[in-house]
Structure 1
Amino acid sequence: MIRHGKITLRAREERDVDVLHRELYEDVENRARSDHRPWRPLRAGPDSPYAVQQGDETPVFSIEESASGDLAGVAALWGVDTHSRSGHLGIGLRPSFRGRGLGTDTVRALCVYGFTVRGLHRLQVDTLADNAAMIAAARHCGFVVEGTLRKALWVYGRHLDEVVLGLLAEEWAGVQDAEGSGV
């Protein structure tokens, strides 16, 4: 487990799947904003994108709110390139957990995992340009906006801009030193 601030990143458990599927996957419009693949009807359980997959190379975590122990959402380090030592991170919070600052703590915890545990050199966030919460969380953790891909994503009936943010390991170390928390 990785703890940071108000959250804990932990392994996905079977009991998480139905909740995540119902609140994050079955909300078609919200799911379309978080996944470039077209939504399709899937059952919860083994068919769910939130199902526990043993042996999967993509580290997928459940986010737990530390104070309550409640399941707050999902976090992933995906698209890891072991040659270039880079990866992408993403989070999805359950609707009732949004707006509590958990996103920033989750991004920080994923940076600890990516840079400290995995030894990556670069992390990237790809998000919709109107996702102010994710952009703010990433920037607060030291990510820099590197560009905007104009109308790059088809999202629920229209093309939207995608913002790319990046953070290098040495920049992350500087952010940690400035906060006095070390890496």
Structure 2
Amino acid sequence: MLKGSKVGLRARHEDDIPILQAELYDDVVISSRAESRPWRPVTPGSKDSPLVVDDKEQGHVPFSVVELDGGTLVGTASLWGIDNHHRSAHIGLGLLPSSRGKGHGTDVVAVLCHYGFVVRGLQRLQIETLSDNAAMLRAAERNGFVREGLLRSSAWVMGEFLDEVLLGLLVQEWKADPRGRGLLDLM
């Protein structure tokens, strides 16, 4: 498990999927704002669910996010679009509604940075988020991400085009938390 100060990132368990599907994916508005693909209903237990992990897929590393204090599932996180030639990847996360506003997003981004830069040896991490997603923008910027651009009207969300903000962080700009946040726990 990868540990931050508040949350841990671990492999997705089978019993995580119904919770993540009900509280994140089945909420059409939340899912439409988080995914680049159009939302479609997925039957519970379907192997077609975007939450089911394909362990053979090398370009996408999904995690379940759990609170360190008690192990409660609080969301999902991923490193996706991993490009080993250019040594870059994208960060994504989604927190259950009851887990928002507690600093978990900032901690998840920190742990994903550690995973990308230290464990995977990447040079660049990137985040794309809707311009009105203040929580994600805050979490990214608190971890050193820099706004690199605005993609005007690039996301079709619930009947309208919205702007996306592009943020990037290079390994030489990244500063690991000296208190150990984001360090790999080998237990």
TM-score tier, shorter chain, comes to over 0.9
Structure 2 residue 166 is the aligned partner of structure 1 residue 168: no
Contact 1:12 1:62 in 2 (8 A): yes
Hey, what's the Cα distance between the residues in 1 that align with 2:178 and 2:117?
17
Structure with greater helix percent: 1
Structure 2 residue 178 is the aligned partner of structure 1 residue 180: yes
Hey, what's the Cα distance between the residues in 1 that align with 2:87 and 2:44?
34
CA displacement at 1:95 relative to structure 2: 0.5
What is the RMSD computed on CA atoms of the aligned residues? 1.2
- Give matches, 1:103-182, under 5 Å: 103-172=105-174, 175-176=175-176, 179-181=177-179
Q: Say which is worse superposed, 69-78 or 41-50, in terms of deviation.
A: 41-50
Hey, what's the Cα distance between the residues in 2 that align with 1:139 and 1:105?
12
Identity of paired residues, percent?
A: 53
- Give matches, 1:62-101, under 5 Å: 62-101=64-103
Gap runs ≥5 in structure 1: none
| TM-score scaled by length of structure 2 | 0.93
Hey, what's the Cα distance between the residues in 1 that align with 2:36 and 2:3?
29
| Deviations 1:31-62, CA, capped at 9 Å, x for gaps | 00000111111112222111132312211000
The secondary structure found in structure 2 opposite 1:171 is: coil
Hey, what's the Cα distance between the residues in 1 that align with 2:166 and 2:55?
30
